[in-house]
Amino acid sequence: MALRNYDPNRDREAAHRIWRECGWLKKGEEEWMDRWIGCGRALVAEVHGEAECLVLTAPGTVRYVDEDLPLCAVTGVTTSRVARKQGLAGRLTAKAVALAAAEGALVAGLGMFEQGYYNQFGFGTGGYEHWMKFDPAHLVVPTRVRPPRRITEDDWQAAHAARLARKRGHGGVNLISPDVTRCEMHGTENGFGLGYYDGPDGELTHYLWCGTDNVESGPYNIGWMAYRTPEQFLELMAVIHSWGDQIHLVRMLEPSGIQLQDLIRQPFKHRTITEKSRFEAAMHAPAYWQMRICDLEGCLARTHLRGEEARFNLRLHDPIARFLEEDAPWRGISGEYVVRLGPESNAERGADAALPTLTASVGAFTRLWLGVRPATGLAVTDELSGPPELLERLGWTLRLPDPKPDWDY
């Protein structure tokens, strides 16, 4: 079973068939799938001479405190009906991560279909994302709404640029190719955007992109928001409030650093009243994205923390190696390191007998490094262990904001 680069001339039809069999491709949308494939690298695995497994990645960045690190975003893992459970998706995903890591991606990320599968390749689960459903009439926003401008699919370039320039907190992801935004806009049912061109040269500064199955009464689903200042965020919330006379429910992701419930009047009362209705007000908190460090030295060289310094030995286990060919350009980051975390951080191969030792899988260490959970908690539920004093100390060293990618892929 050959694993190789996707070749549009040879594999286009087979790739469409894979996605059709997964329920990811509707008739007439084939060119859009081609465009999505074109956002980055595509690999296929052959069975009986035809592509039966397709793995896509796209280049991006992920913010770590104030630094933007190169990210490999895994944007599609699919196996056709005839090739399931042959290990193809696993081997191909591992290969895609290895190629990106060899080219300089410091981190890889993805949205998981289920917990456990991508842990096999070293990915660790991110924190909970708060998805709130509320009646827009119940928003309390201090800002009066200025009439926004319409944003349509035709504005994809401006929409993408505004996204890249948006305020991003710790963990914030950008995907580089403008075609990502173009495809996401196109893929939104009854998609529409509203925003403001307040830039010095009249560029789009803040907007929301929204979709719905029911234009008349909702629910409306906010696909994403882009804004640069708190005032711009509140102005977008005022736009949502302005829908309240007609639309009964809006679903949106809680932005980084914001407690959305603060902006809702009587949230508990409305949860009770709307329970089990089509317009049920609720808050859901799934943890569905995962990341993994691909280059420990590279990540730590760009890690600047404000807490106390900690030095320790790190015994790191990376399970990805067993899915990779012997001659792969990168074979994971298993090994022994001496690590310093603090205002200046680093990792060097080796061990120092005078230091305490932390033992971790790369997924668990990635979660620790990102600030998903403290070492003391990860030691309970994930593959991470060490002397209690070290775990405790790391809690003070890695006091980070909750990481929020703010871009689902």
Ligand X SMILES: CC(C)(COP(=O)(O)OP(=O)(O)OC[C@H]1O[C@@H](n2cnc3c(N)ncnc32)[C@H](O)[C@@H]1OP(=O)(O)O)[C@@H](O)C(=O)NCCC(=O)NCCS
List the structure tokens of 178. Answer: 């403008």
* Binding region for ligand X (CB under 6 A) out of 82-90, 204-212, 243-251, 281-289: 82-90
Q: What are phi and psi of 133, to 5 degrees?
A: -115, 125
Residue 278 within binding range of ligand X, rule CB under 6 A: no
Which of these, 192, 202, 209, lies nearest to 152 by C-alpha position?
192
Q: How far apart are CA 165 and CA 197, in angstroms?
A: 13
Q: Is 88 in the site for ligand X (CB under 6 A)?
A: yes
Rank residues 242 and 361 by Cβ distance to ligand X and give the closer one.
361
Q: With respect to ligand X, which residue has the nearer C-beta, 90 or 255?
A: 90
Q: How far is the CB of 80 from ligand X (least distance, A)?
A: 8
79 forms part of the interface with ligand X (CB under 6 A): yes
Nearest residue to ligand X, scored by beta-carbon proximity: 116
> Per rule CB under 6 A, is residue 144 in the interface with ligand X?
no
How many DSSP H helices and E strands does the chain contain?
Answer: 11, 20
Q: Which residue, 21 or 297, has its beta carbon nearer to ligand X? A: 21
Binding of ligand X at residue 87 (CB under 6 A)? yes
Closer by beta carbon to ligand X, 109 or else 255: 109
Nearest distance in Å: CB 30, ligand X: 18
- CA 198 from chain centre, in angstroms, equals 28
**399: nearest Cα among 356, 377, 357, 368:** 368
Taking residue 61's Cβ as centre, other Cβ atoms within 10 Å add up to 21
Considering only the stretches 6-14, 109-117, 194-202, 260-268, report the one whose residues sit in contact with ligand X under the rule CB under 6 A. Answer: 109-117
Residue 69 Cβ, how far from ligand X at the closest point, in Å?
22
Interface characters, 45-74, with ligand X (x: CB under 6 A): --------x---------------------
Using rule CB under 6 A, residue 131 touches ligand X: no
Does position 77 interact with ligand X (CB under 6 A)? The reply is yes
| Alpha carbon 71 to its chain's center | 10
- Hey, is 284 helix, strand or coil? strand
Q: Distance between CA 182 and CA 39 in Å, rounded?
A: 10
Work out whether 89 is an interface residue with ligand X (CB under 6 A): yes
* Residue matched to tokens 């993994």: 292
Measured CA to CA, the distance from residue 139 to residue 157 in angstroms comes to 31
Q: Is 3 an interacting residue with respect to ligand X (CB under 6 A)?
A: no
Q: Binding segment for ligand X among 83-91, 147-155, 162-170, 180-188 (CB under 6 A)? A: 83-91
Enumerate residues 6+ apart whose C-beta is below 8 A from 64: 170, 171, 299, 302, 303, 370
For residue 131, give the nearest of 252, 222, 248, 240 by alpha carbon.
252
| Region near ligand X per CB under 6 A, out of 9-17, 113-121, 147-155, 368-376 | 113-121
Instruction: Figure out which of the listed residues 40, 60, 70, 90 binds ligand X, where binding follows CB under 6 A.
Output: 90
Q: How far is the CB of 318 from ligand X (least distance, A)?
A: 17
Which x/- pattern over 20-39 shows residues binding ligand X (rule: CB under 6 A)? --x-----------------
Q: Which is nearer to ligand X, 22 or 282 (CB)?
A: 22
Can residue 114 be called a binding residue for ligand X (CB under 6 A)?
A: yes
- Of 101-109, 111-119, 136-144, 270-278, the segment contacting ligand X by CB under 6 A is 111-119
Q: How many whole angstroms separate alpha carbon 57 and alpha carbon 42? A: 7
Nearest distance in Å: CB 339, ligand X: 29
Please enumerate, as own/partner, the contacts of 224-227 that have beta carbons within 8 Å and a separation of 24 or more. 224/163, 224/184, 224/253, 224/406, 224/407, 225/166, 225/252, 225/255, 226/159, 226/162, 226/163, 226/165, 226/166, 226/195, 227/166, 227/167
In the complex, least distance from residue 297 CB atom to ligand X, rounded to whole angstroms: 29
List, as one string, the DSSP characters of 108-173.
Answer: EEEE-SSTTTGGGGT-EE-----EEEE-GGGB--SSPPPPPEEE-GGGHHHHHHHHHTS---TT-E
Token pair, residue 33, equals 């799938």
For ligand X, the closer of residues 75 and 345 by Cβ is 75
Tell me how many residues contact ligand X (CB under 6 A): 19
276 contacts ligand X (rule: CB under 6 A): no
Residues forming contacts to ligand X in the complex (CB under 6 A) are 22, 53, 77-79, 84-90, 111-117
